[in-house]
Chains A and B, each alone.
Chain A
Amino acid sequence: MNYKFDFGPVIEGLPELLWGCAGTLGLALSGMVLALIIGIGGVLLRDSRLAPLRWLVIAFVEAIRNTPFLGQIYFVFFALPMVGIRLDPTLTAIIALGVNGGAYAIEIIRGGVQSINKGQVEAGLALGLSRTLIFRLIVLKPALRAIFPSLTSQFIMLTLTTSIASAISAYELTSVGQAIETNTFRSFEVYGVVTLLYLAMSWMLMQMFARINARFLLYPVK
């Protein structure tokens, strides 16, 4: 082992790396919001009375879950401009992350909805509430509570997947790291620090999810 460690370039590049972290968190949080909207909307459509809507959701979920994320993000970035839709790398990354995460979120949230006793829905119906209100006011919160740990790990996964957005030069931690590495050849130091920064962000997000859980989803159960 003749490799001499030199963390100088990394320390010099730390402000840039931290901006990269901000980029990563921006992509991740925006992607999560989009994924949650797609997830909840998808569950409603997935159990809709109209069969074509159900098929559409099933096809969407299968298409996304059985293709690689890199392919999906390339599709949005390189293929959509062919039909006149041109998006910048950041927006492309958010859409790809949200759509990808949304497909997984549909399946996760649907599991939660199915875990709710049908007596809850019947009680709502008997009180004269509409199906939409029953879903929103009676089913959704206990369903999210039931699957929150799964949703949390899916969203951590989504956060780590933002690194693939470096392939289309979106501004996030991995692309910043790559730039520093290209200029300094300090691969070990740069990617070591980048890895630790991802770890720190994951930990932060897990704390955030735990707080959301405690604040919005916890209630006494037997």
Chain B
Amino acid sequence: MSVAAKSVAITADTMIAMRGVNKWYGTYQVLTDINLAVRASEKIVLCGPSGSGKSTLIRCINALESYQKGEIVVDGVHLGSQGKAVDAVRREVGMVFQQFNLFPHMTVLENCTLAPIRSRGIPRPAAEETARRLLDRVKILNQADKYPAQLSGGQQQRAAIARALCMEPKVMLFDEPTSALDPEMVKEVLDTMIGLATDGMTMICVTHEMGFARQVADRVIFMAEGRIVEEAEPEIFFKAPQHERTKKFLGEILPHH
């Protein structure tokens, strides 16, 4: 699997392809020669130390960050730095943020229907029906008419997941979705993500929840200093990491190592 990824061959079921992506902030290079192919329905967990570029990498996929060199193709659409391609890709790629980023002045239901109505042009009744179905799926339908500030952190993040799903995306990006949560709320969000994975969603998750990685990931990718250092199936990744950098990282985050 990792061999296929290295060559970044585009096959019929390739959902995301990154080829030779490089990004600099001024003279500081944050991403170096990123090559990555993600198949439809594949679940990728991206981990690595703080500042390793993992968030930056997934933010490039929906053009929240620009890159200076290389190429990104999402579901057949070449992502230029601007223009219509960006809008097209963003409508297909859902994103969940560490800080939830729910809109505080709208109810949970309004958060969920805003983009389908305004960006996809779906009529309000249909958008609300979809939103209620997805809020039910993340188990907060009874909170639909509340404002984000009236919800717990875990509920807010589940609302944010439902909001992203309302656009019926082909890919979901998760940027440290449980890092801002109180410990007792991590599980409810992870369970929601596991449910999504089981239903066949293509997912890239930046997370340090290694239990989640073990359970759900098809591949775990380890990044350090802006490069992909190592990638493997979780079984191999955790049992037999190849690189010193990976071993050190796992030693730091896994309690029993």
Contact = CB atoms under 8 A, between A and B. Distances in A.
Are A and B genuine complex partners?
yes
A128 B90 contact: yes
B105 interface: yes
B119 A128 contact: yes
Contacts of A119: 97, 99, 101
A126 B64 contact: yes
A178 B181 CA distance: 65
A124 B163 CA distance: 11
B101 A127 contact: no
B104 interface: yes
Contacts of A122: 64, 97, 101
B247 interface: no
B91 interface: yes
Contacts of A128: 87, 90-91, 115, 119-120, 167
Contact of B93 (A123, A126, A129, A145): A126
A219 B102 CA distance: 13
A127 B119 contact: yes
A103 to B, nearest CB: 27
A180 B205 CA distance: 76
Contact of A133 (B91, B101, B118, B167): B118
A117 B87 CA distance: 22
A138 B119 contact: no
A137 B105 CA distance: 10
A141 B120 CA distance: 22
Contacts of A130: 87, 119
- Max chain B C-beta neighbours (<10 A), residue from A119, A127, A142: A127
A122 B99 CA distance: 11
Nearest to B89: A128
B101 A120 contact: yes
A221 B97 CA distance: 19
Interface in B170-191: none
Interface in A123-154: 123-130, 133, 137-138, 141-142, 145
A138 B103 CA distance: 7
B105 A141 contact: yes
Contacts of A219: 104-105, 147, 149
Interface residues of A, number: 22
B105 A145 contact: yes
Nearest to B119: A128
A137 B103 CA distance: 10
B150 interface: yes
A4 interface: no
B105 A125 contact: no
Given A119-B99, A133-B118, A127 B90 contact: yes
Given A219-B104, A219-B105, A220-B147, A129 B99 contact: no
B31 to A, nearest CB: 18
B164 to A, nearest CB: 8
A20 to B, nearest CB: 39
Given A126-B94, A128-B90, A220 B114 contact: no
B207 to A, nearest CB: 18
B204 interface: no
A222 interface: yes
Given A127-B163, A130-B87, A220-B149, 12 more contacts: A122-B97, A124-B115, A125-B90, A126-B90, A126-B95, A127-B164, A127-B167, A128-B91, A128-B167, A130-B119, A219-B105, A221-B149
Interface of A: 117, 119-120, 122-130, 133, 137-138, 141-142, 145, 219-222
7 contacts: A117-B101, A123-B97, A128-B91, A129-B115, A130-B87, A220-B149, A221-B104
5 tightest A-B CB contacts, nearest first: A127-B115, A123-B101, A128-B91, A126-B95, A119-B101
